[in-house]
Amino acid sequence: MVTKTILVFNVGSSSIKYSLFENTEKIETGNYERLKTKEDYKDTIEKIFEKIKNKKIDIIAHRVVHGGDLNHPTKISKSVKNKIQEFAEFAPLHNPKQLMVIELAEKYCNEQYAVFDTMFFADLPEVSRTYAIPKGLTKQYNIRRYGFHGFSHEFVSRNLKGKTITCHLGNGSSISAILDGKPLDTSMGLTPLEGLIMGTRSGTIDPGLVLFLEKKEKNANEILTEKSGLKGICGHTDFRDVLENKDKDPDSKLAYEMFVYQIVKIVGSYAAVLGGVDNLIFTAGIGEHSWKMRRDVCKHFEYLGLKIDEDKNKNSEEVISSSNSKIKVFVKPTNEEKMIVEEVLKNLK
């Protein structure tokens, strides 16, 4: 295969992570955080291209959170950009920023691809992807559970056989049930708002609460997307701050316990869906680094024969379960950028 130099942009709601690959080999990476304005993003893109100016970029690949019915790597065109804009309604913290970076990068490279976070869940079973609303609305607006963090869930679970539950736990969090590499269910839905409590997102709530907030003339979207979750409970959006304060601040303690409780609820429900668990995986910032959270989650599944090795857990080793545990428990760094490159290269063949 001819060597392709591929620049991957993984753009978040306040960050840009870039990785430079020669085919599937990463040769450079960098991360810029706490970006707020369009100028911040523009300046960051200019810095990145200045930094890599000695490299000829063949392809730029962008992780896009919500692609709707686009479920394969797609060369970016005006119609694709329109689609990303259309589904920004369902991923307001991400799609607009990702589209902005796509347009900022156009002057540096014509060959740009979008690879969608939702692709891994494109074939979720109908029973788990369908919402119990009128079928006409479902068809008219393409309403379904799309799922997110697909690259991460796929990467950490590949090559594992059997009944696997993957926990991508970070500022945005989701959990998936996977059988022999095929996803059966996932906690995020039409939008990245469903599921677990997150940094600023409420996670799953009674839909009646949305109606109540709107009756009170409150901005439900802003409240549930930007002001809820850990931030709403205790004022902290960073889980490290929650951990640091939980022994002295009742609100931080509650936020921590609610986060653990919700993980346990979802993992437990997926154990029922799968008919047991062979593999439990923790990944992403919180999943990879918080041994206390892993310990507190895992102790709820001792009745299933799960046993963790305390020293291995504290050291965040790849396998933290004990040798006599009936469930294998992993701590796996995710690699969304590598998955994106692999998908683009497959598409070029």
Residues forming the active site: 117
Amino acid at 322: S
- How far is Cα 192 from Cα 198, in angstroms, rounded to an integer? 10
Amino acid at 134: P
On whether the CB atoms of residues 24 and 61 are closer than 8 A, the answer is no
Coil/strand/helix, residue 182? strand
- How far is Cα 286 from Cα 282, in angstroms, rounded to an integer? 8
- How far is Cα 187 from Cα 349, in angstroms, rounded to an integer? 33
- How far is Cα 251 from Cα 236, in angstroms, rounded to an integer? 10
DSSP 120-162: GGTT--HHHH--SS-HHHHHHHT-S---S-HHHHHHHHTT--S
What's the burial of 27, exposed, middle or buried (CB within 10 Å: 0-12/13-18/19+)? Answer: exposed
- How far is Cα 210 from Cα 207, in angstroms, rounded to an integer? 5
DSSP secondary structure code for residue 65 in this structure: S
**Structural tokens at position 98:** 């990702």
β-strands 59-64, 5-11: how paired? parallel
Phi, psi of 308 (to 5 degrees): -105, 150
Measured in whole angstroms, the distance separating CA 151 from the mean position of its chain's CA atoms is 8
On whether the CB atoms of residues 83 and 35 are closer than 8 A, the answer is no
- How far is Cα 141 from Cα 190, in angstroms, rounded to an integer? 11
Find the distance separating the first CA and the last CA of the chain, reported in whole Å: 9
Q: Which among 297, 257, 260, 262 has a CA at the least distance from the CA of 281?
A: 297
